Amino acid sequence: MELIKQNSHSRIIKSVIIIFFGSIALAISAKIKIPFYPVPMTMQTFVVLFLGMIFGYKIGIATVILYLFEGIIGLPVFSNSPERGVGLTYFVGPTMGYLVGFILACFLASFVKEKDNYLKIFFKLSLSVSVIYILGILWLGNLIGWDKPIIQLGVTPFLPAEITKILLLSLLSKQILKIKKFT
């Protein structure tokens, strides 16, 4: 009985550590800007999908929620913070829909399995990222008005970068999922 309690406590501690360091990785990925035409890309969506794939939806979502909480309370973890504000004010700005979309994208990415072929993995990851953009567009349209070119502002510039990240993650997926067995 004592061994079961120790194992349970060990798993909880391990999960908390993974969630904490995952939120740090997500914050770092938001700050890494890779020159990409026409808009520089960050690695946030890559890390969000990675977290879902390797740790599953429970730990992955907890990590994303911790990251969002850190940003909401004022830590400069978001991509354009502190330059464009911090805390709740930044969170409810133009990127809120995308940020909230990270939660659902992480959940969907957790359904990528090692037995899936690369095309199926690419499709699952594309669907996961699509949710980020759908929620992002819905929020952005409500915030700035549907009379603006929302798709051209909130999706089109990011498509080449997203396709590149999804392709890279798809190609690495078999190795990533092998690591999952040991976590």
Beta-carbon contacts of residue 136 (< 8 Å; ≥ 6 apart)? 95, 97, 98, 101, 154, 155
In this predicted structure, what is the pLDDT of residue 4?
62
Quote the pLDDT of residue 2.
Answer: 61
Q: Contact at 8 Å (CB) between 162 and 45?
A: yes
Structure tokens at 8: 């349970």
SS3 32: coil
Residues facing 34 on adjacent strands: 41
Half-sphere exposure of 90 (CA within 13 A, CB side): 21
pLDDT for 36 equals 62
**Of how many residues is the chain composed?**
183
Contact 64, 103 (CB under 8 A): yes
pLDDT at 40: 64
Q: Identify the pLDDT of residue 1.
A: 55
Print pLDDT tens along the chain (183 aa).
565 666 788 889 999 999 999 999 999 999 998 776 555 679 999 999 999 999 999 999 999 999 999 999 999 999 888 888 889 999 999 999 999 999 999 999 999 999 999 999 999 999 999 999 999 999 999 999 999 999 998 899 999 999 999 999 999 999 988 887 655
Overall domain count for the chain = 1
CA 144 to chain centre: 24
- Indicate left, alpha or beta for 35 from its phi (over 0: left) and psi (-120 to 50: alpha): beta
Please report, for residues 38, 150, 158, 159, the alpha-carbon distance to residue 96 in angstroms, rounded to integers and kept in the order given.
22, 15, 16, 19
Q: Which residues contact 140 (CB under 8 A, 6 or more apart)?
A: 94, 97, 150, 153, 154
Residues of the domain holding 132: 2-180
Report pLDDT for 37: 54
Angle subtended at Cα 87 by Cα 14 and Cα 64, rounded to the nearest 5 degrees: 30
Query: Structure pTM?
Result: 0.91
At 33 the pLDDT is: 84
Taking the CA atoms of 84, 85, 86 and 89 in sequence, report the sign of the dihedral they define: negative
CATH number of the domain residue 12 falls in: 1.10.1760.20
What whole-number distance in Å separates Cα of residue 130 and Cα of residue 101? 9
